[in-house]
Amino acid sequence: MMLPSSLLVLLLLGGARGCGEVRVEPHTVLLGSPVTASCRVQQALCHGWHASSLGTSTAQTLGGGLEEGGIRLMWKLDNKTLPGTQYWSANGTVESNLTIARVSWTRAKLRCYLAGMGTGTKTETPQLIATADIQAGHLPSKPHNLTCMMNLREMSLTCRWDPGAESLLPTETILKSRKTCRVVTKAIQECRPLLPGENHCTLPHQHLQLYQDMEFWVWVRNPLGTAESEHLCLDPTDVAKLDAPTLMSVQPFQPNCVAVAWDVARSSAYIEQQCELRYRRDKELAWTLVSGIISSNQKVQHCGLLFGMPYRLQMRCRRRAFPSYWSEWSTEQGFTTHEKAPAGKLDAWWQVTPSGSRQRAKVQLLWKALAWQEANGRILGYWVALSPQQRGGVPTTVCNTTEMGCNFSVPPGVRSVYLAAYNAAGKGPPTEVIFLERRGQPLRGLWATPRDQHSLWVQWEAPAAPTNGYVLEWRNVPPAEPGGRLGWQVEHNHSATGALIQDGIEPFRRYNITVYPLYVDAVGVPRHTATYSQQKAPSCTPKLHLRSISKYQAELSWQPVPTELQNGFITNYTIFWASTSSNMSSAVVDSDVQAFTIRPLKPSTTYKVHIMASTVAGSTNGTILMLTTTALDITEIQFLLLCLSLIFVLLIVFTVCLQKNGRMKKQFWPRVPDPVNSSLGKWVPADLQQAARAYARPARRRSQELPSHLDDIPPTALRKEYANLPVIDKADDVVKRILSLEMAGQREKVKIKMEQLAEKVRRAPNDNGSYEVQVAHLTAKIRSYQEHLQKHPKDARNRRVMLMAIDQQQKMLKYLRHTRYDLFENTCKQLGIEYTFPQPYHRKVTRLWLVKKAFCLKVFEEVQKLKASERLKQRQETLNEKRLFLSKAGLVSSLLLEQEFIGDLQQLHSAARALF
């Protein structure tokens, strides 16, 4: 049967919460277990619901159809609708059952709703009947790792434990203790953590039994069950943690020993203790531990420290009889051991600037600081001296500094110096630095790779000859400071093929790295490479310059990005251009290219052009350059002007012809006398006329006078050497005419022209040697030579001089173009020079060319060896003759002769070493 619509209205108005209940079995379950629930609506609890409203008992499922006017129960788990089974009974009860096969959540709300249909077809809003909470989780985990520690100052015991896996349910944790381990008693003390989730608890002193074993364990409970840890049996005094001792004095004695005195804490003064100390050097993290210290008077001595080294020291203690927890470390206290003279030799490197045979050589000597094991204290300075010329003499000091390098000069022939470090205790053993010649074999290969932002790994291929080690140099390019700091290090392992450099390495900066192989009696020829520790996009891009533009193309140029702004190796440049009506176009060129021609372009169109510089780590775009192509080319413009000029001239001629018809007729068709009616035949005899015809010759045409670049110089101007004389104004006109350019030669006029052209490009009034002024002078000379060769084309000497001047002019213009492009453009414009860019030189490397080159180098080396042997032979003959002459003449003493002979032998020895 079904409920009437009046009952449903009452339920909607009064609410359905009092009409039924929901039962869940169980409310708390294990994750993955099933849950059953039932929802029941009773007639007695719902006002207005009469027994006559129900018929015989029926059972319908939620999926089955309900007849019109019935009601149904529905389930929701949080916001998800679940299906259930619905039953009707004759006693006025409607019940719905729900089974959830597997619970996969930890907490959810299960709701039961009453839904019904009225007399019409409109669905009513479901009404909530009851709600039940469902929890799911795990059984409580067994606590483990139970440890306890006693605080002597507060006389309390703190125990800690590991709670294990989370049960996902509300859990109660209790620390339980019993004052005896062997006898089970009911007197159990409980300690609960102050906050939920804490894994430790502190028992006060009234719950402790000192000097007697007690039993401790952790008990855990949640709605699914209980668990407890392993029982721990111990005496609270055995796990006591002492207070930290106090260092009374730390005094160094002897060169490498220290005496330490301390005082134990007042709370543990009655306990026999075992202590240990630890020490470390300043600015280091690693400690050195000294254990097993047992002293009744709280004093101990320790040796084996480094000389002159600052240290930091701490102490801690614990019970001796029953080892328990260590106390905290005491406050650090510092001390410094006594110093001793430095030990060990210094690593040194040098740069020798060669000079003449009789001049002093300049030396830059660099060295590394001694290791702290060898310094034996604070180094006060470094001493550099020359070896004494006589045995037992005093060395000559050339440098005494606190820096890591020194610049000085040495007399000719000196090949070594002595270097030593000293401190307050004395001077260390001197290191002999021998200036070896750089003539050994170089490395076969060298390359460098970044290790991280502040280090580089340098690897090389060893030479064929055995080495004693290697020296690595590196320098920032360009130097961050004036002069640039040179970094270097020595690799003593002769079999090494790589080294890590870290001193002064910064990211995004280029470093030039040089490696020298070291031999027994020489230093190898260096090998170079360049690298970055880290690269990124360039900081800037080149600025585009428009060289020329025409109807269909535009030529651009730029200067390379400065090295300090590259932030890496420039791999290529990309030029982008686009107009308002076309898509973006681009072209990629190599990093060594500095000019590019954009083609094809559209006439009379505006383009946006920019350049992008790229490295392996990124790219940077430059500013936009706006350019507009011309409507006509230069050739078209010239042709158009020529046509217009021709039309204008023809128009003028036609007009003149119309106005002067008679005169033009006389010009084109002059009146010629009739020879028949001429009276000339009557004046001259016939035989004389015949003779005159025989001697008649055609007249020569005068050569057309070519225009000269000197025509604009006024002839009345005075010569250059007389123009600024104060008495020239008092001279008469005849003298001025004699001293003017009218009477001067070609050379004087060229000088005046050179000054006129120089005035156009001169930077300052006293500028007489800049590249622009030199180009102006050469331009005047070149034009004079060109005019001369037009009149005398076979003058080969002046043609050669002109070509040399043109070559020199091109070189100066090329330098201006690369350094000051604005001055280059102004010079060409003022002097009327049409500069043409030279074609790049490319030579194809063929196998035949490589063979020829190797053969030429081999021939050159053999010739040099033959010449060296001949020079050595001649030097020996000259030396023998010199000795014979001096011995016969007796002009010098035997001591002078011996010293000079020794010097000549040293020169011969050096020449022989260079030869072989």
Model confidence pLDDT, tens digit, residues 565-588: 999 999 999 999 998 888 889 999
Pairwise pLDDT comparison (720 vs 460), residue with the higher score: 460
Q: What is the pLDDT of residue 844?
A: 79
Q: What is the pLDDT of residue 470?
A: 93
pLDDT band at 57 (very low <50, low <70, confident <90, very high): very low
Over 90: is that where the pLDDT of 353 sits? Answer: no
Over 50: is that where the pLDDT of 337 sits? Answer: yes
pLDDT band at 460 (very low <50, low <70, confident <90, very high): very high
Q: What is the pLDDT of residue 73?
A: 82
Pairwise pLDDT comparison (213 vs 51), residue with the higher score: 213
Asked whether the bond before 26 is cis by omega within 30 degrees of 0, the reply is yes
Please give the helix or strand (H or E) that residue 864 lies within, else none. Answer: helix 847-889
Strand partners, 883: none
Pairwise pLDDT comparison (298 vs 690), residue with the higher score: 298
pLDDT in tens, 738-747: 788 777 888 8
Q: What is the pLDDT of residue 667?
A: 63
pLDDT band at 46 (very low <50, low <70, confident <90, very high): low
Over 80: is that where the pLDDT of 816 sits? Answer: yes
Average pLDDT over residues 878-903: 63
What share of the chain has pLDDT > 70, as a percent?
83
What share of the chain has pLDDT > 90, as a percent?
29
pLDDT band at 481 (very low <50, low <70, confident <90, very high): low
Of the candidates 431, 447, 325, the residue with the CA atom closest to the CA atom of residue 384: 431
Strand partners, 455: 452
pLDDT band at 899 (very low <50, low <70, confident <90, very high): low
Over 60: is that where the pLDDT of 10 sits? Answer: no
Q: What is the pLDDT of residue 903?
A: 62
- Tokens at 761, concatenated: 């490009």
> What pTM did the predictor assign?
0.49
Over 90: is that where the pLDDT of 30 sits? Answer: no
Q: Count other C-beta atoms under 10 Å from residue 775's C-beta.
A: 27
Over 60: is that where the pLDDT of 911 sits? Answer: no
pLDDT band at 3 (very low <50, low <70, confident <90, very high): very low
Of the candidates 227, 240, 418, the residue with the CA atom closest to the CA atom of residue 318: 240
Q: What is the pLDDT of residue 450?
A: 92
pLDDT in tens, 530-550: 999 999 999 999 999 998 888
- Tokens at 722, concatenated: 């007389």
Q: How far apart are CA 99 and CA 38, in angstroms?
A: 9
Mean pLDDT rounded to a whole number for the chain: 81
Q: What is the pLDDT of residue 727?
A: 74
For 16-30, 98-112, 414-428, which range has the lowest pLDDT when averaged over its residues? 16-30
Q: What is the pLDDT of residue 98?
A: 87
Pairwise pLDDT comparison (50 vs 413), residue with the higher score: 413
Q: How far apart are CA 92 and CA 94, in angstroms?
A: 7
Q: How far apart are CA 449 and CA 446, in angstroms?
A: 11
pLDDT in tens, 484-502: 578 899 998 888 999 999 8
For 320-329, 493-502, 856-865, which range has the lowest pLDDT when averaged over its residues? 320-329
Over 70: is that where the pLDDT of 881 sits? Answer: yes
Over 70: is that where the pLDDT of 58 sits? Answer: no
DSSP for 217-266, written as a single string? EEEEEETTEEEE---EEE-GGGGEEPPPPEEEEEEEETTTEEEEEEE--G
Q: How far apart are CA 784 and CA 693, in angstroms?
A: 45
CB 157 within 8 A of CB 241: no
Q: What is the pLDDT of residue 665?
A: 62
Over 60: is that where the pLDDT of 67 sits? Answer: no
Radius of gyration (C-alpha) of the chain in whole angstroms: 55
pLDDT in tens, 640-695: 888 999 999 988 888 877 676 666 666 666 665 555 555 545 544 555 455 545 54
3-state DSSP of 134-196: EEEECCCCCCEEEEEEEECCCCEEEEEEECCCCCCCCCEEEEEEECCCCCCCCCCEEECCCCC
Q: What is the pLDDT of residue 893?
A: 47
